[in-house]
Chains A and B, each alone.
Chain A
């Protein structure tokens, strides 16, 4: 008897195959981990189970009965609840109101509802105050409200999408107790995660996805160690990746980051005492599972986010106290992870976006010399082979590859000494990836020091001179891409503490 059985699930999106015959079997009363790298198809598969997507092929069975969900409400009615990473709560409603929203009895009695919600919470050890408004709650409490919402709808299968990403360690431990209680009642919990230690502590079995396929199903977590998990998640090093042939000698330090600590609004150190250096002409890769501090680190170096302590220097000039604009004028270029909305302004046209960094120098006095602006844009478009329909139309219609070439090209236009490239090839097609990687390699040959943050191990191995691994905000290992194996790096990414690389 199985609680959940997903079999041969295919789901295609324009240009992407998210699930290619993935399967998943979950026993009743168990906590089941679903593992995989970003883009492995975990979330799509869970959305199929939760009725958000209809699979192109394949079957969904609950308790052996085939299901055909056409909307999330169907899945909820069949007893599937999902807690998304981004909570779907109404901040000004109370816990009870959020829990009961959409499935409240016709006649409402506030006090009896609060009592019922309180009893339900207590039954599963979900500490909450039914009468409080959600905006007052911590992230952990909000997550418990989401779980309560699912339990209120009598979910027999509860999907938790990377539930610990927003939690403190104590809250995470409490979540583990809650899932255990639910499993003891015979419910099934699907726990999406990247982190080996919590998978081993909280889960009974694990299924690993890679490239939209199931590569290992229902493994006992006792058989799982960091090396095995990394191997399953990232795959064997099959094709030898094209290592970049370094043409320049790494020169003087161009970027010095010393003991940077960045706190989030809850006071957690999301970047925890990171130090690193990048030399002239060097590409330093940063590997890590999403959400382990790469983004705040990049933002802090670029001056978009305040570091609590630590210093940043570019060619021996301390730029710590400078704002983003001044840092840029000191030769620090930044290709942010969000190319649309941060790196580029989507509602402005190609000319405007091409001059966003240096419009202050175009034309004397208060007016912009738009003739000069146009020629700047034209030279970028030509040099980086950007296909724009019309330069005076909003960027919104351009493909990802063209947008990224525009962004990268603009950042390199003022001949920086350091380039921070965050996920520069994510979501691009094969040619787009190659075009960007070629630009990075060419720039390194010209002496630019590059900090390459990526979730694509292949890319990091191919391009980096040195490879750092971040886990939970800290640099936990440094590797030489020529000698390290992907398993070693993968294990460090998953938080295995006995990494073979020397701790930085």
Chain B
């Protein structure tokens, strides 16, 4: 395969950045998208230029590190897929592929395709935990939890925090991410105890990071690699409204 790449190049956070065009002649259609970028970087290194920086880790679709806009779509043309699970067979020979970082004010571009997603970490730190005394691991069967509840909590916990929901949202809202974390906790008896303070502080932090409003376009669910349901957003709204009404 032969492809033309238009890649966002940006030295650092201060650099305004620009699109650069590269041509790759010998691409195997079975390569993953990230392997194609590795090939590009080898070519750039041989030419003596700076390689394109991008985030990646497990390359198995479970870590949430990789995440770029490919041809105007978060994680590329496939729905519910991470960038690393996208393969070159999804593109045509001689196709032009536009590659950009995820864009949101809360996700500043650090270099090329790498964005700073620590805003998500701060949202988690603000309330995505349960307060228990550390020590010996407690007996697992001492708190009975029904199987559907466990499954529902686990579905929410499956969020890998890749940021595609923010990238694809027209308002750069982090509602899907934040709500998945809130749902994950509130569905379990251990998490229910701090439900009200948690939802308030996590929503506070989400707003403080500069994410936008959720307008329920549901684009996030379509692009989410873990298919996190938008109904978690409804649950976050419910928990938030309940907390606001019951606040003393």
Instruction: Determine if chain A interacts with chain B.
Output: no
Which residues on B are within 8 Å of A, measured CB to CB? none
Interface residues of A (CB under 8 A from B): none
